[in-house]
Amino acid sequence: MRLQVKAHRGHVSDKVRAYAEKRLGKLERRLYAGTLVEVTMSRENNPSIRNDHTAEAVVHTKGPNIVARESAETYEAAIDRLVDKLERQIERYRDKRTHEPRRARQRAEPPIEAEEPEAAPSTESGEEAA
C-alpha cells in the first residue's frame, strides 16, 4: 500500500503525519500491495464550527474508488473515525469482489417450440371407423 498524506491550506505536523501513517497502516493487510491511499487533512477557520479538523481519504482500487471523510476536534480523532469508516467500506468492497462474482450476460435464446404429437386421423366425411 502506498500512502500519501497531504495538507489542504497549510501544513500537517510530523506528529500528526506519523499518527496517520501508523493508523492507516492497519488497512495494508486488507488492500493489495500497489493500492494508493491519499489522505488530505484540512482545518476550517471558523470558530463556530466545533469539529473543525477534517481528514479525507481516497483509496484507489481496481474497481470504484473508496472515499471517506470525517471531522473531529483534533486530527487524531478525525483519523481514528476515518480508519473505522474505511475498514467497513473496504470489507464490503472485498466481499462483493470475492463472494458475488460478476456473471456474464447471456443472450436470450428464442424459446424452443415443442412439437405437438400428431392427433389420430379423423375422417372428414363423417364415417366412423368400425
Predicted local confidence at residue 1, as pLDDT: 87
CA angle centred on 68, ends 62 and 72, rounded to 5°: 155
pTM above 0.75, yes or no: no
| C-alpha cell recorded at residue 40 | 488530505
| C-alpha cell recorded at residue 66 | 473508496
Q: Which residues of the chain have pLDDT under 50?
A: none
Domain boundaries, the chain: 2-99
HSE-up (13 A, CA, CB side) for residue 43: 13
Q: Name the CATH superfamily for 2-99.
A: Ribosome hibernation promotion factor-like (3.30.160.100)
Sign of the CA dihedral 59, 49, 81, 42?
A: positive
